[in-house]
Structure 1
């Protein structure tokens, strides 16, 4: 009977580990809500075309939901052919653009996985890395990486959004202090 319980516990542990999330924020970063954050083009380290655009769009929406009032996105020309590779701007070019926009911080990312796994259940799987550069010093001041897989019935975008939201928990938007009311 005791052996049976051990096998049940081991099976449940394996089942729960199958959908585990790994998010590793280095440390929290506080960004004042009024600071401008530039979102640079994400890199695509997968075989799937244009997944970096999907991840970037989700990230921008979640940053705005966190309370950042000014989020600017690096302008890119859409391709007529999604399978044709577009020339990527260099890191220096994108950082120069962020400086020209007056951004205090720049966020960049790399999509390492964004697909449905092969097999019977076709589970969605997402992996990505995010980092924030302080534009005054040019140093990376925050980074996070993580991966997540979902169940066969879940949408890939929903799993991606959950993973990105998990990673962004390390960014804390600080509201500006309220101005005191004028005395009559």
Structure 2
């Protein structure tokens, strides 16, 4: 009987948090007071403008996590375009732009899943990768990917916000 209760409590706890997978490198520590830039996200999904949604969410959450000096790359996204125009080449242009802005760090990302799963419940699912490049060395100093599903009554953007928050919690460790 005790085993059945323990199993039920474990299952309930896992169910309340949703299914999530997070993999990151260890952050060497960053200067939150430095100049930061956000490159346009690559949309690897079939969901229109998922990259633009990730950009907006990431910019907001970077500020919430203490990044005050943030420049967002003025990506050439058309409101009429069904799919994002950002790709790896656009991210390289954004890196050059960030150097012109004298940014120390650039955050780049991609969206690998942004949808409601097909089925009776239609759970929201988001899969996102982020990386931080130190422009003083040109090296990627942190990278991570995370995926999460939520409950059928949750929005994809809410699930994505949890994913980005989890990633930024790992990336934005202040330098000592």
Whichever structure has more helix as a proportion of its residues is: 2
Distance 1:26 1:127 in 2: 17
CA distance 1:128–1:101, change in 2 (3 Å): same
Query: How far has the Cα of 1:23 moved from its partner?
Result: 1.3
Answering whether residue 26 of structure 2 is matched by residue 41 of structure 1, we say: no
Partner-residue secondary structure (3-state), 2:24: coil
Larger Rg: 1
- How is 1:69-84 mapped onto 2 (pairs within 5 angstroms)? 69-83=68-82
Instruction: Give unmatched runs, 5+ long, in structure 2.
Output: none
TM-score, normalised with respect to structure 2: 0.86
Computed over aligned residues only, the root mean square deviation of the Cα atoms, in angstroms, reads: 2.7
Distance 1:50 1:138 in 2: 28
Partner-residue secondary structure (3-state), 1:169: helix
Answering whether residue 147 of structure 2 is matched by residue 147 of structure 1, we say: yes
CA distance 1:122–1:11, change in 2 (3 Å): farther
CA distance 1:154–1:38, change in 2 (3 Å): same
* Aligned residue number for residue 103 of structure 2: 103
Query: How far has the Cα of 1:83 moved from its partner?
Result: 1.7
Residue-by-residue CA offset, 1:19-47 (whole Å, 9 max, x unaligned): 22111221124222320111001000000
* Aligned residue number for residue 163 of structure 2: 163
Alignment length (residue pairs) = 174
